[in-house]
Every structure is written in structure tokens, then in C-alpha cells.
Amino acid sequence: MTQDKLFRTFSTTIVWFWLSVFALVPSFLLFMTSLLVHGDSELVRLQFTVDNYLQLFNANYLRVFLRSFLLAGACTVGCLLLAYPFSYLIARSADRYKGILLLLVVIPFWTSSLIRSYAIVAILKTHGILNTFLLWVGIIDTPIQMLYTDTATLIGLIYTLLPLMILPLYASIEKLDTRLIDAACDLGANKIQVLLKILLPLTLPGILSGCVLVFLPAMTIFYIPDLLGGAKTLLIGNIIQSQFLAARNWPMGATISVALTLLMSMMLFIYWRCYKHKKEPMYESY
């Protein structure tokens, strides 16, 4: 008994130590930095202020937040629309193919996403693969400017984050009892009614976790807008990066980071509430 207890104390201590060193302390330092003042000669001046937070309400920052929000939202919706039918097909294909199909989804993960982004550049650029192909087929006369547009950023984001949507969707569609779909058809439901009344509600947990998994990184990945959007499309991730590395304004960078963290915490909280709502307590029968 005592040994068991000792082990439990020991393991919880390790977890707490780990969390403290790698999550709590850095977050606290970040938060403290956000309350300091940017100096010209030193990184931060030890002077307490909330000015940085007031600056967040500057129209420029708000615009970037809104843009990032919209782009991440578009990316999430795009991923969902692409991934749902795809996941459905994998989940409903023969057992012996499922593993292979999922492996094919995961394989690109083994290559650095930076390299994959350069590959997209090679495809989208003015004399890239796609334009060359379209010219050769004769669909267009002059190359289309695709690289360094919001569309390119969106394509890059969706391509990079799609697996994060597919995997949770696959898991929840795979779990779904197909007999429920049979039952709905039997009761006279057409395909749209089956989708809206049975499939979507029952795979909602998968949809929500997929959206969270895609939306959060989509807000912050900075190298994709950099490479594909040509740094014209400033997103939160880019601002944080440039505040820390280019402008050397650590307090401001920290402030934006903290604001972003708060925003995402709020979204995770909403997700958690939705999910908790799904699981109702079991009652004794009768």
C-alpha cells in the first residue's frame, strides 16, 4: 500500500515538475514580459505597464487578428469539407484497405512541413508546374499569379493541416454503427436527412476535435503565409515572429502571444462545454 502511494506521489510530482518547468514557468515569464516596457538599448526595461494590452486595440492589430481568424476559419471549413467525405470513404472501405489508406494520409507527415511548403511554391509559382500544365493543355494563355496570394496561403494551410482533420473524423465515423443509417433509411429518410439527422450529430465529437486541431495551428503557423503569401498577408503568427525577431519588441510580442493564448483557451473551453454536453450521465434502467 505505502509503496503504491509512494509511487503515485512520485509520478504526480514528476508530472507537476514537468508542467512547471516547461509550461507554467515559461507562460508566467511570457505574461510578465508582456507587462514590461520595450527598451532601445536592452531587451526589456523593468517597468510595469499595461500599455501593451491597450495597444492591442489598435486598429492594425485588430485587423490582423480578424484576418487570421477569417483565414484560419476558411482553412478549417475547407479542411472539413474535404476531409469529411474522404474520412467517410476510408471508414467504409474494406478492412484490409483502411490501414494502407490511413498510412497514405500520414506519410507526408514524415517530411518536414517546411519542405512540403517549398514544394507547393514549386507548383504554384508563375513558371511552376501548375501554370506550365494549364498553358500546355491550353486552358490559359498567360500564367496566372497564384503564388503570394491569400489563396496560396489558404491552399498551403489546408494541405498542411488536412491530416489533423481526417484522423479524428475517421475515428468517429469508423465508430458509428452503420445499422443506425440502415434504420434511418428504413424509416424513410433520404440521403440529406440521413446526413443531417444521423451522420453529422453522431460524428460531432470528431468534427469538433478536428476543427480545434486545425483552427489553432492555422492561426499561428507563420512560415506558410511567409512562403506562400509572400509576407504580404500578415497573420498573428507573423506579427509575433517579427515582434520578437525583427522589431526586437519582446513585450509587445509577448502581449500578442498572451492574447492569442487567451483566445484559444476560450475556444477550447467552448469545445469542452459542447463535448461535455454530449455525454450525459448514465441512469439505472427502469
Q: CB-wise, 84 or 159, nearer to other proteins?
A: 84
Neighbour-count burial for 112-151, b at 16+ CB within 10 Å, e otherwise:
ebeebbeebbebbbeebebbeeeeeeeeeeeeeebbbbbe
**CA–CA separation, 137 and 79 (whole Å):** 29
| Of 22, 197, 246, 269, the one binding other proteins by CB under 8 A | 197
Residues 198-227 that bind other proteins (CB under 8 A): 198, 201-202
Give yes or no for residue 138 binding other proteins (CB under 8 A): no
Q: Which residue has the cell 472539413?
A: 80
The C-alpha atoms of residue 190 and residue 226 are separated, in whole angstroms, by: 46
- Contact (Cβ atoms closer than 8 angstroms) between residue 88 and residue 173: yes
Phi-psi region of 234 (alpha: psi -120 to 50; beta: other; left: phi over 0): beta
Q: Which one, 206 or 229, has the nearer CB to other proteins?
A: 206
Interatomic CA distance for residues 133 and 140, integer angstroms: 10
Closest CA to 60 of 286, 266, 252: 252
Q: Which cell numbers in the block locate residue 136?
A: 500546355
Residue (175 or 232) nearer to other proteins, CB = 175
CB of 279 to other proteins, least distance (A): 10
What are the C-alpha distances in Å from 27 to residues 185, 235, 236? Answer: 52, 22, 18
Looking at beta carbons only, is 89 or 182 nearer to other proteins? 182
Does residue number 186 form part of the binding site for other proteins (CB under 8 A)? yes
- Residue 181: CB atoms within 10 A of its CB come to 17
Verify binding: residue 285, other proteins, rule CB under 8 A.
yes
Q: Does 95 bind other proteins (CB under 8 A)?
A: no
| Nearer to other proteins among residue 141 and residue 284 (C-beta) | 284
Write out the binding residues for other proteins, residues 155-184 only, by CB under 8 A. Answer: 177, 179-180, 182-184
Are the C-beta atoms of 192 and 111 separated by less than 8 Å? no
Q: Which is nearer to other proteins, 42 or 284 (CB)?
A: 284
Cα–Cα distance for residue pair 27/61, rounded to 1 Å: 22
Q: How far is CA 192 from its chain centroid?
A: 28
Find the shortest distance in angstroms from Cβ 233 to other proteins: 40
Compose the 250-279 pattern: x for residues touching other proteins by CB under 8 A, - for all others.
----------------------------x-
Using CB under 8 A, which of the segments 82-90, 109-117, 186-194, 208-216 binds other proteins? 186-194
For residues 25 to 64, the per-residue mask of contacts with other proteins, x marking binding by CB under 8 A and - elsewhere, is: ----------------------------------------
Q: How far is the CB of 145 from other proteins (least distance, A)?
A: 47
Considering the rule CB under 8 A, would residue 283 count as an interface residue with other proteins?
yes
Which residue, 180 or 262, has its beta carbon nearer to other proteins? 180
Element (H, E) at 45: strand 44-45
Residue 193 sits in the site that holds other proteins (CB under 8 A): yes
245 binds other proteins per the rule CB under 8 A: no
Which residues lie near other proteins (CB under 8 A)? 177, 179-180, 182-190, 193, 197-198, 201-202, 278, 280, 282-283, 285-286
